[in-house]
Amino acid sequence: MTTNTRIKIPDGFWKGLEQLGIHAPHVVRKAKMPLNVITESVVTVEQYYALWQAYSDIIGDMEAGMLQLPTVFETTQYPPSVLAAYHARDYRDALKRMARYKEMCPPEKLRIVEQGTNGVIELEWLDTEQSGPALLVGTTLAFLLELGRRGTGYPIKAKLVEFIHSFGQVQALEEYFGCPIQIGAKRNRLTLQREDLDRPFTSYNAELLEILTPVLEQTLDKQRRSHSITEIVRWILIRNLTGDRLDIQEVASELGMSERTLQRRLTDEKTSFKELLKNARHDQARQYLANPALDIKEVAFLVGYKDQSSFYRAFRSWEGDTPLNWRAEHALINELQG
């Protein structure tokens, strides 16, 4: 399990939406999130999924949506981790770099397997029990093929594309990938001709890679070592606030340790599971209440309360006021500051 607690959305994501005629604020409001997400571009896994679901709802045509962003996304807008892949020596090197540096930007991760005449890229998730939104899956797989086509300058075709999700028409996808599309599969996978992985990239830039690679490797190493158990537990709690996996036994199990070990490690870091859960709910409640599009009942659900009265009691203990009064007061403060 990767320990990233937040996801950085590339600036090009918003620019790509604009090029498609989709305004970023529209997507954010549809996802019931505060507009500062656009400028900060740092979100939780749950928010990340919500943005993609909102984009899916707006775009309407699932197939078209899966292909539009990868093809409209300009290479000049690639973040450093993707630039390192685009300027790799060949397609294999590019995919390996994508898989390695994807660890710095969850929740999806890539697994590459070469067997026989096939090169298979499998899309996996932090939460193995839940796949990401269908549009995110399709966009990711399309981008991996688009990367190969742009880098090599050759119209590479896939052998097979598999989706866990089931959806309507697949004709546009079959035309783009150049192969059959299987829906309702057990895995999200892109299968390529193994020989295509040997194709050199015309965009290969050794000098740029000498600059990018050490920085990315240092960032990856620092990120792996920097996260405390407190940060990891907090991230898991935020990810699962609306679910039923909020007890310490479930979290300890996900971390591959006993409840006693988790308690001891949290105590060593001068905190507790109960305190982290309270803080996660409190912080998320403040964030959701800052969004006037969400009513109080929705906020209560989003931070893990099944009834509104329990949320009211908890919030009063945190802030000394009701959620409604807190929202009104902070809306006035923001208005005066604006």
Q: Where are the domains of the chain?
A: 7-222, 229-332
pLDDT of 3:
40
pLDDT of 186:
83
Distance CA 296, CA 286 (A): 11
pLDDT of 274:
94
Q: Could you report how far apart the first and last alpha carbons of the chain are, in Å? A: 41
pLDDT of 1:
38
pLDDT of 198:
97
CATH superfamily ID and name for 229-332? Homeodomain-like (1.10.10.60)
- For tokens 């993609």, what's the residue? 52
Q: Backbone phi, then psi, for 115, in 5-degree steps?
A: -150, 125
Per the rule left: phi > 0, alpha: psi between -120 and 50, beta: everything else, 4 is beta
Distance CA 85, CA 99 (A): 10
Distance CA 154, CA 143 (A): 15
Q: For the chain, list residues with pLDDT below 50.
A: 1-5, 128-129
pLDDT of 128:
42
pLDDT of 227:
67
